[in-house]
């Protein structure tokens, strides 16, 4: 399985603050990093983007955050992410 994906709004986003960002989630036991590579106008479009990515690049875990996040994540933020992987199978 490849890198996990994270879908969330970006903290402090000034241009298009309601857009959802899609990116790779890299994490270890103490912290994480969100490498954003896509921007979508709404959650429905972001979920569609994640589905397309899974079809092209293979199965992976997908996480969703209900609060805007920065690219540097704390362990607490990682633990509070919603794992939505099952909705993609």
In contact, 68 and 11? CB cutoff 8 Å? yes
Residue ranges of domains in the chain: 4-88
C-alpha torsion angle, residues 29, 9, 49, 80 (rounded to 10): 30
What mean pLDDT, rounded, does the chain reach? 94
Paired tokens of 70: 């920065």
Q: What is the pLDDT of residues 28-82, one digit of tens each?
A: 989 999 999 999 999 999 999 999 999 999 999 999 999 999 999 999 999 999 9
* Confidence band of 87 (pLDDT split at 50, 70, 90): confident
């Amino acid at each position: 399985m490849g890198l996990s994906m994270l879908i969330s709004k970006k903290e402090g986003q000034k241009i298009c603050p309601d857009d959802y960002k899609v990116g790779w989630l890299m994490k270890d036991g103490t912290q994480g990093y969100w490498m954003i590579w896509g921007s979508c106008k709404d959650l429905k479009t972001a979920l569609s983007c994640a589905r397309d990515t899974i079809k092209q690049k293979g199965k992976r875990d997908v996480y969703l955050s209900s609060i805007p996040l920065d690219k540097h994540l704390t362990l607490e933020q990682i633990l509070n992410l919603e794992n939505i992987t099952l909705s993609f199978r």
